[in-house]
Structures are given as C-alpha cells and as structure tokens.
Amino acid sequence: MGYVLKREGLDGALAALSKDYLLYAPVRKVGEGRFTDVDVVRYDFVTSASELELDAKSDYSFKELLTPLSKTLFYFTEDEVHEAGDLGAPGAPAQAADDRPVIVFLRACDLHAVRRLDQMYLGNGPTDTFYARIRDRVRFALIGCTQSFASCFCVDMGANVAPEGWLFSLETSGDGYLCAVADDSVKAAFAGAATAEKDVEPAHVTENEVRVRTPQSVPTSIYKDPLWDEYTNRCIRCGRCNIVCPTCTCFTMQDVFYTDNGRVGERRRVQASCMIDGYTNVAGGGQYRKAAGERMRFKVLHKVWDFRQRFGYDMCVGCGRCDDVCPEYISFAACVNKLTDACEREEAQDE
Ligand code: SF4
Ligand code: SF4
C-alpha cells in the first residue's frame, strides 16, 4: 500500500507520527559546512516536511544517534554512580529526556549498515548494553534513492536494495512525495494525509558511476605490497573517513574529572579511529601501524576482507562518504580496486 502526498499532507503525517515517535532525519544546515558558505547535511530531530533533506546524501550518517561521537555513560562521586540517559545526540537535551521510540530516516545502504552495527555490538560476543538500550528504541523509515550520488558504489557492495525492517518509505516526486507503508501501525498517519492511494515501490538505484571489485582472496604478501606506500605519503591521519563511515564501530573511553582529586566526574564513550595517532598505543609505550599506509591497509582490509572472513559479508556498504570527506582526495573505492588488482597479480605470480 502506498500514498501520494503534498507538502502539507506530509506535514500532517509527520505531526501524527510525532505523537508516538521522535523523528530523526537528514537536515540541511545552511552555511554550517567545513568551508565558508557551504552547507552540511547531517542528522537532527525534525517535526515537519520542510526540515527534511531527501534529495542529497547526508555528509554524516544516522550513526550519530546509535553511537554518538561522545556519550556520557555514567557520573560518579566518591560514594555514588548514576547512569546517564540513553539518547546522547548532540544538541538534543529535550529529546534525551524523552522516552518515545525514534524513527530514523535513512537510505538502503545505511539500513544495510545498521546490520553491520548490530553484528558488532549485539552479535560479536557479549551484548553491548549501551548500544542495545538505544537500538531497542529505534525504528526505520526508508528514503528511496531516485538517483545515485557522485561517489556511491552501493550496487557493487550489494547494498542498493533495502533489506526488510522499515516501517514506511519516503521519496520526493515532482512537487510532492511518494510513500510506501510496510507496517500497519503507521498506516493511519499517511492514509489521513494523502491526496491519493497508489502502489509504491521504494526507488533504488541499479547502477553507479563508481565501480568497485573486492578481492576474492588475499595473499599474505599483500601486507608488504608497495601499494600502501602511496597512502603513507598522502594521508594526513585525520580520521574523517572513519567518523563519517556508517559501519565504523570503534570507540575509546575518557574519564572527565570535575575535582582535582579525581573522585568526582563522568565516564564518556567517544568514537575512535584506526587512522589517527594513539589508536594502537599499548602499555609500555609501544605503537603499531605507525605509517599511514599501514593504517590504510588495516582499514581497507577490515572493510572488504577481514569482516567477511568472520561474518560472511563485507562491512563496507558503498555509501561513498569516506571519499566525499577526505581532505587529501584519497579514494577508498580506488584503493579497494588497487588492492584487488594487486591480490590477483600476486596470486598469478605464485601459480
Ligand atoms: S568504508 Fe566508506 S564507502 Fe564503505 S561504508 Fe564506510 S564510509 Fe561508506
Ligand atoms: S580522511 Fe583521508 S587523510 Fe584523513 S585519515 Fe582518512 S584517508 Fe587519511
């Protein structure tokens, strides 16, 4: 079942949904990008159709809700410990105190990325209770992809068609919207606001300009292949590629002390990056993967090889955000292709 909506109709549907849910969606922040007068599209809580940005790829992913950049886990004094609230979304103190479930608007590739996050936090040993508590409150709305964006390679990563698990879909169509309802619990919100009923299949792309081939086997000699040297020379180890990635899950802990004696304060969980200095520091002053090329090797192999060896599918979903944000114009997609070429070359030499 699907619906055709005008802007006012979608406003009505979102208002109806807002009685039961918080809505978290891509929003265009005008002039807040990394350069003067450049916009950024990132997630925020919304209540109306005019706030939604459905026709551009978000620079940052939905991940900020499920795994906030910085999340206070608990506060402590000498005598007591108090757990912090669940929703640590930046700038959302009102929502943090709100216990309604959240509908997250995301694209097919990002819904595939949720499976990766679930795999790491819920299906890789003991359940991560901090993640699980937020995840239990989250539902999804699918943003239909009416076009492929410049750096996307979701088709080659098998993430262009959404998996199940969304309540409804939404995409722009002319001066209005198309919506497919997959869950009866939200049907009334759209039925009462639509201008017409229509069979709607959420739009998805079937080809991308960027093509990526992932390796089918990786010889151990690849670890010392000269292909990684290029990244030692070019990468500035800023970690932006990790922070925008919807499938990166690493975090570190920080204790913030309010008093000089260190007995009053808070413990925070903060996103970490395998590309930045300090990530591999160990007791005794040791540090692994000092060169940026070694870090690139670790990241790329994890995304398109090591994760697959453990779970049977690739970690990367081909959203292309890492290519979009790299200040050194390093292309992850191009690196995967170089890796695959090198693997095939070295295997052919060994035959
Ligand atoms: S590695 Fe890059 S393309 Fe792949 S999921 Fe992460 S940000 Fe997207
Ligand atoms: S964004 Fe680019 S320069 Fe920064 S760590 Fe990633 S690959 Fe290196």
Indicate whether 149 pLDDT > 70: yes
Task: State the pLDDT confidence band at 261, using cuts at 50, 70 and 90.
Answer: confident
- Which ligand places an atom closest to the C-alpha of 293? 2
Distance between CA 262 and CA 330 in Å, rounded? Answer: 42
Q: Which two tokens stand for residue 291?
A: 């060169």
Does any ligand 2 atom lie closer than 6 A to the CB of residue 297?
no
Indicate whether 90 pLDDT > 50: no
Task: State the pLDDT confidence band at 96, using cuts at 50, 70 and 90.
Answer: low
Gap from CA of 240 to ligand 2 centroid (Å) = 6
Task: State the pLDDT confidence band at 217, using cuts at 50, 70 and 90.
Answer: very high
Rounded mean pLDDT of 13-23? 96
- Looking at residue 197, its amino acid is E
Q: Which two tokens stand for residue 79?
A: 């005598």
**Structure letter (DSSP) for residue 85:** P
The region of weakest confidence among 61-70, 229-238, 309-318 is 61-70
Give the closest residue (by CA) to ligand 2 atom 6.
241
User: Which of 59, 233, 234, 238 for a ligand 2 pocket mutation test, highest count of atoms within 8 Å of Cβ?
Assistant: 238
Q: Are strands 176-180 and 196-197 parallel, antiparallel or unpaired?
A: unpaired
Gap from CA of 328 to ligand 2 centroid (Å) = 7
Gap from CA of 285 to ligand 2 centroid (Å) = 24
**Structure letter (DSSP) for residue 5:** E
Indicate whether 86 pLDDT > 90: no
Does any ligand 2 atom lie closer than 6 A to the CB of residue 334?
no
Does any ligand 1 atom lie closer than 6 A to the CB of residue 243?
no
Q: Which two tokens stand for residue 276?
A: 């930045």
Does any ligand 1 atom lie closer than 6 A to the CB of residue 107?
no
Tally Cβ neighbours within 10 Å of residue 174: 8
Does any ligand 2 atom lie closer than 6 A to the CB of residue 116?
no
Gap from CA of 270 to ligand 2 centroid (Å) = 19
